[in-house]
Amino acid sequence: MEVRYLSEAGRIDLPLDELVATVPRSRNYEVVLVDADVTLAAVGIDDVPELHDRIIVATARYLGVPILTGDRVIAASQHVQTLW
């Protein structure tokens, strides 16, 4: 949803359907469902107000991985490690 939002806003040039078709064939990425476990990982993330960003942080938190981002709000979050 974040990719769709950014694409529709003209902030990135990556159609969602292209991403959905490409990612499953990649050895570098894995599709992770936003399920009950990810939703529960979002509990207590109080320093990332935007919902899509909070889901991204919760997913990284659940998987125990850092996020590659230039987003200042996510980078400032105490709930996830970021790389950039």
Query: What is the number of domains present in the chain?
Result: 1
What range does the domain containing 55 cover? 2-83
Nearest alpha-carbon partner for 19 in 10, 9, 7, 11: 7
Give the pLDDT confidence score for residue 71 in this predicted structure.
94
Name the token pair of 81: 């490690």
Using only C-alpha atoms, the chain has a radius of gyration, in whole angstroms, of 13
Q: What is the pLDDT of residues 18-36, one digit of tens each?
A: 888 988 888 888 888 999 9
pTM comes to 0.80
Rounded to the nearest integer, the mean pLDDT of the chain is 92
DSSP letter string, 2-41: HHHHHHHTTS----HHHHHHHGGG-SS-------HHHHHH
- Please give the pLDDT value at position 62: 96
CB 50 within 8 A of CB 73: yes
